[in-house]
Structure 1
Amino acid sequence: MTRAEEFEELRPLLFSIAYRILGSVSEAEDAVQETWLRYHTTPTEPASTKSFLSAVVTRISIDVLRSARARREEYVGPWFPEPLLTDPYQDPARSAELADSVSTAALLLLERLSPLERAVFVLREVFAFDFPEIATAVGRSEAACRQLAARARRHMQAGRPRFEADRTEREELAERFFDAFRQGDVEGLAELLAADVHMVSDSGGKAPQWGKGVFGADNVARALAVLVSLFAQIGGVVEPHQVNGQPGAIFRDRDGKVINTWTLDILDGQIQAIRTVINPDKLEHLGPVADAWAVIRETNQARRPTN
């Protein structure tokens, strides 16, 4: 097998490691490409291609994350990871666990960790690397990596998101929610909301957003009623999808351009959180992106009475 073939075989794993460390599709793809360049120019054959490439992509991702931290601190409004529709790394025996590890809620928890803690946690808890491999990847001793892993595990367990145990029930509830949205059934939407539900958007200051968020079932229901009406006026389309391993949807304008993505956190048969990504920079990998401000203008024009 050639180096290129070996690399392509491991590409899904490398991307999945990088995405969980970085929370960015574009940055993860860049990290994987840089990993290939380094592998391609390495004069010697590594003892284990998987270990070598995983170590390289991890180190690159740590460096990128360190520089990204400053940008995220200056980010306008809430920051969410770039939406991921399909995790290329497939392990049927651990599919549910892998899906939960890439959820928006889990990635937001990872944001609280230092870059080293985050990398060690991802390699150990998500992909089950052994500590000698992890130590090589992050350039620390095995003992230090064990301490980093323990500290990261405590932080993650303290705020770990809980999801509906039955994934089928969760998908069915999400289907009911998006069907009600398409049909303009505001009462049906309200029935699915938890009392303390919150709805938050990530616009990065580049698209309309809901301030710091909308909180409480009554307020969220009113916001949804407005969105249902506006979306119908522009001829929008709702496409249910798995987004970051959780129930969600892509919202498109009448021309098929992406307006935003939604993800739903579901527990105890109710929607606990609705998170939307509307920052166009985070949607470009999904296809052509709509101008959200133009959508607002179109909606306002549609609402004006005609003479």
Structure 2
Amino acid sequence: MPAEKRGAGMTGKVGEFEELRPLLFSIAYRILGSVSEAEDAVQETWLRYDGSATRPTSPKAFLSTTVTRISIDVLRSARVRREKYVGPWFPEPLLDDPYQDPARSAELADSVSMAALLLLERLSPLERAVFLLREVFGFGFDEVAEAVGRSEAACRQLLVRARRHMEAGRPRYAADRLEQRELATRFFDALRGGDVAGLQRLLAADVQLVGDGGGKAPQLARTIVGAENVSRLLGAFFPMLRGVGVTCETQDLNGQPGAVFRDRDGKVLYVMVLDVLGGRVQTVRGVINPDKLGHLGPVADAWAVDREVKQARRRSR
């Protein structure tokens, strides 16, 4: 159901909750970096709201506070698991952000990118929640303080620290959206054609190719650095996959240009997201961990595809 339709025709707690569901999911996803965990946090928020004996004066304040506190608790336990994660950890790719606010469109778009979500990993759970509620969603300090259970003065201090960490890792300038899409179109055309020279022209000299398999799918043994190395690997990457029926569908992911790779049965195999700055691709991020792809549709067996590619390569020698 479209976000603007949620809650339409519904009354009582159900109507109030459905109207605010897009906001609640967007808060939870940015805190957790996980679609599945954000959906669980929103569902738990509903259960607590439905089970409450009293009706709050402000459903938005009550629900935002509840989903924030649940998400902070989940994040604290998730961080322990992420310390044991195999290889680089990336957020679960998001196709569409359900919450829209024209007055804060720039903040919302910037904060959902892979790069921004990875920067948020530098913050403590409380810093992360305060930064998001205040800087991204525009909550007042009184609302932020209520949501995280701290004083307004403490929240201001948390925000100062969070801003310092975020600004230290941000690029000095942002890429134009049209520029991003035009460069991404050329990139994926070159990728599909195995055009190594064409790819190299689009990559920054110090470009990085990084993959997240979580130990549950074939993944890069290390980060690949440099335009020549990355273009050579990518130039061989898709032609081999195409030979076993894999397709590449360009698609914005987390508000960034990217693509979804599917096996011959249409199942999701791999997701690729591009960071574009200064007219070049700065980072190519891939997610192949099946646990992070299920919300996009049925997931392919990446190990089976990998075996098929290796068999095809042996036959061609």
Common topology (TM > 0.5): yes
RMSD over aligned Cα atoms: 1.4
Q: Are the aligned partners of 1:257 and 1:289 in contact in 2 as well (CA < 8 Å)?
A: yes
Aligned to 1:236, which of 243, 246, 249? Answer: 246
1:267-278 correspondence runs (5 A): 267-278=277-288
After TM superposition, which residue ranges in structure 1, 4 or more long, deviate above 4 angstroms? none
Aligned to 1:125, which of 121, 131, 135? Answer: 135
Q: Which residue of 2 aligns with 1:69?
A: 79
Displacement, 1:91? 1.9
Q: Which amino acid aligns with 1:243?
A: L
More moved, 177-186 vs 297-306: 297-306
Structure 2's unaligned 5+ residue stretches are: 1-10
CA–CA separation in structure 1 for the residues paired with 2:212 and 2:253: 15
For the residue of structure 1 that corresponds to 2:118, the secondary structure is helix
For the residue of structure 2 that corresponds to 1:304, the secondary structure is helix
Q: Which residue of 1 aligns with 2:204?
A: 194
State whether structure 2 residue 54 is matched by structure 1 residue 49: no
CA–CA separation in structure 1 for the residues paired with 2:289 and 2:35: 14
CA–CA separation in structure 2 for the residues paired with 1:109 and 1:220: 23
Give me the identity figure in percent.
71
CA–CA separation in structure 1 for the residues paired with 2:128 and 2:315: 54
Partner deviation per Cα, 1:65-100 (whole Å, 9 max, x = no partner): 011110000100000000001000012343333111
For the residue of structure 1 that corresponds to 2:206, the secondary structure is strand
Q: Which residue of 2 aligns with 1:18?
A: 28
CA–CA separation in structure 2 for the residues paired with 1:163 and 1:67: 34
State whether structure 2 residue 69 is matched by structure 1 residue 31: no
| TM norm structure 2 | 0.94
CA–CA separation in structure 1 for the residues paired with 2:214 and 2:112: 21
CA–CA separation in structure 2 for the residues paired with 1:141 and 1:53: 19
Displacement, 1:164? 4.1
State whether structure 2 residue 166 is matched by structure 1 residue 156: yes
Q: Are the aligned partners of 2:107 and 2:135 in contact in 1 as well (CA < 8 Å)?
A: no
Displacement, 1:191? 1.0
Q: Which amino acid aligns with 1:118?
A: R
Partner deviation per Cα, 1:208-236 (whole Å, 9 max, x = no partner): 11122100111101111220231221121
Q: Are the aligned partners of 2:31 and 2:128 in contact in 1 as well (CA < 8 Å)?
A: yes
Displacement, 1:43? 1.0
Q: Are the aligned partners of 1:240 and 1:248 in contact in 2 as well (CA < 8 Å)?
A: yes
Structure 1's unaligned 5+ residue stretches are: none
Q: Are the aligned partners of 2:113 and 2:254 in contact in 1 as well (CA < 8 Å)?
A: yes
State whether structure 2 residue 182 is matched by structure 1 residue 172: yes
State whether structure 2 residue 146 is matched by structure 1 residue 136: yes
| TM norm structure 1 | 0.97
Q: Which residue of 2 aligns with 1:213?
A: 223
Partner deviation per Cα, 1:14-33 (whole Å, 9 max, x = no partner): 00000000000000000000
More moved, 176-185 vs 217-226: 176-185
Tell me the matched-pair count: 307
Q: Which amino acid aligns with 1:158?
A: A
